[in-house]
Every structure is written in structure tokens, then in C-alpha cells.
């Protein structure tokens, strides 16, 4: 479940960030999901957030977020519409990574959708020319 995280909306102003209360008061979100979302929303624009970077950021601290913590938080945020993800693949169909978009309120990224082989509707992958084109 590795990939790149990108903020859907929001921003920083003079060292502070403003968020909607929707995610922090959503009783269907796990505490882990709320902690991860708070952290993601605090990141400056352009920060390359990956699961490995997030784990590294908190390594050796009481607030350590391990891989399982992050993955379960992602699933919780995704189930409530705060986070959406899709595969990034090359033109020849090779998997590159996951692309994540998140917001402090539920949203629809308006990505194209398609039915998978099991009949479930999923987001169509983002197709790039070559692996090196993705987020240099």
C-alpha cells in the first residue's frame, strides 16, 4: 500500500493550518485515522509524503506510526470519503505506485471509474509514459 500522498485542498498560513472539524468529529473514523489526517494536513505543500517517510518522521518517538497503523488509518479515511487512491501505471501496464488525495472533508475526486474483474467499481488508474515521469 505504498504510494504518494497529495493534499486535495487546504493550505498553510504563517505556520498554522486550518481544518474543517468534519474529520475530527466524525465518530466513524478511528483515532488512528484522525491522527494520520491531522499530520497529513499539517505538511507543507510539495512535501513528498509516503508511508516510509511518515514512519521515518516518527521513528523513535512516542507518536511512532508503524506501517499497520498507517494502513488501517488509510482504510478508515478511504471508507468515509476523506481519502481516495488510485494506481499509477505505465502505458505498458506496469504498476508504479499508488496516488492518494485527501481532504479534511469528504470529497469526490472526479476520477474516471471502471469495473474490475469482480464487478466492483474502482477508480481507473493514472497512466504515465514511464516510471521516471512520476513525481521526480
Name the residue ranges covered by the structural domains of the chain. 4-133
Question: Could you read off the pLDDT of 46-56 as tens digits, one per residue?
Answer: 777 788 888 88
Across residues 102-121, what is the average pLDDT?
Answer: 89
What's the chain's average pLDDT?
A: 84
Across residues 71-90, what is the average pLDDT?
Answer: 93
Higher-pLDDT residue of 63, 22: 22
Angstrom distance (rounded) from CA 75 to CA 29: 10
Tell me how many degrees the CA angle 28-116-119 measures, rounded to the nearest 5: 75
Entry pTM: 0.78
- Using alpha carbons, select from 99, 80, 86 the residue that is nearest to residue 37: 80
Across residues 123-130, what is the average pLDDT?
Answer: 88
- The reported pLDDT for the residue numbered 43 is 84
Longest dimension (CA), the chain: 48
Q: Are 58 and 65 in contact (CB under 8 A)?
A: yes
Angstrom distance (rounded) from CA 96 to CA 126: 10
- The reported pLDDT for the residue numbered 58 is 85
Question: Could you read off the pLDDT of 20-60 as tens digits, one per residue?
Answer: 888 889 999 999 999 999 999 888 777 777 888 888 888 88
| Grid cell locating 29 | 473514523
Does residue 14 surpass a pLDDT of 70?
no
Element (H, E) at 77: helix 67-79
Amino acid at each position: 500500500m505504498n504510494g504518494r500522498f497529495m493534499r486535495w485542498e487546504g493550505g498553510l498560513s504563517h505556520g498554522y493550518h486550518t481544518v474543517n472539524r468534519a474529520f475530527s468529529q466524525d465518530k466513524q473514523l478511528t483515532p488512528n485515522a484522525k491522527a494520520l489526517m491531522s499530520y497529513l494536513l499539517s505538511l507543507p505543500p510539495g512535501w513528498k509524503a509516503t508511508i516510509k517517510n511518515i514512519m521515518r518522521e516518527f521513528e523513535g518517538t512516542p507518536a511512532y506510526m508503524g506501517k499497520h497503523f498507517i494502513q488501517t488509518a488509510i482504510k478508515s479515511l478511504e471508507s468515509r470519503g476523506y481519502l481516495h487512491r488510485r494506481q499509477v501505471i505505465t502505458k505498458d501496464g506496469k504498476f508504479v505506485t499508488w496516488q492518494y488525495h485527501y481532504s479534511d472533508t469528504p470529497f469526490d475526486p472526479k476520477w474516471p471509474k471502471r469495473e474490475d474483474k469482480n464487478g466492483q467499481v474502482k477508480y481507473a488508474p493514472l497512466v504515465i509514459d514511464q516510471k521516471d515521469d512520476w513525481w521526480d
